[in-house]
Amino acid sequence: MSSPSVTSRTTLRPSPPAERPAEAGPRPDELQRSQEKAVVQMLDVPPVADGLAARFAEHGHRLYLVGGSVRDALLRGTGAARRDPGDLDFTTDARPEAILEIAHGWADAVWDTGIAFGTVGMRRGEYILEVTTFRADSYDGASRNPAVRFGDTVEGDLVRRDFTVNAMAVELTGPERRFVDPHGGFAALAQGVLDTPDVPERSFADDPLRMLRAARFVSQLGFTPAERVTTAMSEMAGELARITAERVQAEFSKLIIGTHPRRGVELLCDTGLAEHVVPEVPAMQLETDEHMQHKDVYTHSLVVMEQAIEREADGPDLVLRLAALLHDIGKPATRRKEPDGRVSFHHHEVVGAKMTRKRMRALKYPKAVIDDVAQLVYLHLRFHGYGKGEWTDSAVRRYVTDAGPLLDRLHKLVRSDCTTRNRRRAAALQRNYDGLEERVAALREQEELDAIRPDLDGNQIMGLLGIAPGPAVGKAYKHLLAVRMEQGPLGPEQAEAELRAWAAENL
């Protein structure tokens, strides 16, 4: 049985000449099939997919590897950037009840939480697989929830997908694998172009989240959106208001931890989408930083984010990247023109920390992430009071204590915040920070710098003063902590003397 031909817009298929001599080479349909076979050979498809396909074939159904799974398999086949292949997506002509029957006895676990949308999830070994019946949905234009309607062809299913690079499929149930690419996804993948199978206005009206996904793919894969895509994004940015904050946050976070987050953020700002996600970021385009070295604070913040990424040691750090992007968002609200003509942004770190909390809460980030990012924004200027090393040991202790477990991230953020083009000044700033880190290391050797506590705990305070639990114990504890921060470790005898002197004046 021969494989049916596939209509494709890929640039790999040349147009046939008007007249074709017999000796001119293979016919267009033969050349197309040859190219399709070459593409299939590039695919890095795990054996578990073929095992599942055999089950579907036994039951008289077709199974296609589809969407991002095909895209990433092709990227792996070409040696390009790759994702974890542990999650696989499929589409099929089988209805959900038939999918459940096929999975029974083969999958290690099966779940049907998405069965109303035609999706059955399953696990086989280390792989998570999702199988969805062909879809031919319609949207009401008021939400992103479709009226689910099952389709009959894979081509009909592919046209409703978000981007052409995700609208490719590989049939696994025939006598040989068949590449299905009716919208030129392979050519778009090869050229790094992001386009939609349908006209972008209709695609984005169906699901406005796709506009944010476009920026995410620019960040993750380094693609360039087609002109018609960016035009539609600009014209339809307001449609993003139909999407829940949780979904927006999920896409934005994936963008930030992508390989090219600056490009993703710039696309959001250029198209106006940022106004509906993080409006504080494009607002920085109006401000000039105090060093007068950058076009605006916006550009400076993007550079800081890139420099922070260079300092990551264990993969993408969402907290660090968000702090780098947002560290100066308080500048527009604190901008002042000084008598000498310079522009100042006094206390912008305090205002920025509050703005960061407000925006991240609106995006429904977890409290722990909000707290960490806001604290880094709040502390990012603290170092600039260090001067040439004039800080006392007490000031160094407070710097470490206020940063707590964020100290390593704070080091990276502060160093990244140096974007001056003056090499001498940049080198001086880095030397000063080297000096601060050396001070931190020296104090850490002398005392428990990462967990500074008073020399006496609450029980010892109550025993020495003969008092019961209550506010007085907390006040005494805070006093001893302040003394400990100022003077360093006191030892039991000196701490007791300090406590009794405090009690004589305050109790």
Q: Are 349 and 413 contained in the same domain? A: yes
Q: Are 221 and 344 contained in the same domain? A: no
Buried b (16+ CB within 10 A) or exposed e, 169-182: bbbbbeeebbbbbb
Q: Which two tokens stand for residue 127?
A: 């792989």
pLDDT at residue 450 greater than cutoff 70: no
Per-residue pLDDT of 312-327, as tens digits, reads: 988 999 999 999 999 9
The domain boundary, picked from 143, 164, 191, lies at: 191
Helix (H, G, I), strand (E, B) or coil at 287: coil
Buried b (16+ CB within 10 A) or exposed e, 63-81: bbbbbbbbbbbbbbbeeee
CB atoms within 10 A of CB 277: 26
Helix/strand/coil percent split, the chain, to 5: 55, 10, 35
Nearest to 116 by CA among 91, 95, 89: 95
Bridge-partner residues for 139, per DSSP? Answer: 146
171: domain CATH number is: 3.30.460.10
* Better-predicted residue by pLDDT, 45 or 3: 45
Q: Are 234 and 215 contained in the same domain? A: yes
Q: Which domain holds residue 478?
A: 458-506
- Domain-located, residue 14: no
Q: Are 324 and 418 contained in the same domain? A: yes
- Domain-located, residue 260: yes
* Lowest-confidence region among 190-199, 234-243, 353-362, 443-452: 443-452
- Tally the C-alpha atoms within 13 A of residue 354's C-alpha that lie toward its C-beta: 8
- Domain-located, residue 151: yes
Per-residue pLDDT of 84-133, as tens digits, reads: 556 899 999 999 999 999 999 999 999 999 998 899 999 999 999 999 99
* Better-predicted residue by pLDDT, 441 or 349: 349
- Domain-located, residue 16: no
Average pLDDT over residues 152-158: 93
pLDDT at residue 13 greater than cutoff 60: no
Q: Are 44 and 170 contained in the same domain? A: yes
Q: Are 285 and 413 contained in the same domain? A: yes
Nearest to 119 by CA among 107, 132, 129: 132
Q: Would you give the distance in Å from CA 348 to the centre of its chain? A: 26
In the sheet that holds 127-133, the strands lie side by side as: 109-111, 119-124, 127-133, 87-92, 63-66, 169-171, 178-180
pLDDT band at 384 (very low <50, low <70, confident <90, very high): confident
* Torsion, CA 426, CA 431, CA 432, CA 438, rounded to 10: 150
pTM score of the predicted model:
0.79
Q: What is the domain count for the chain?
A: 4
- Domain-located, residue 23: no
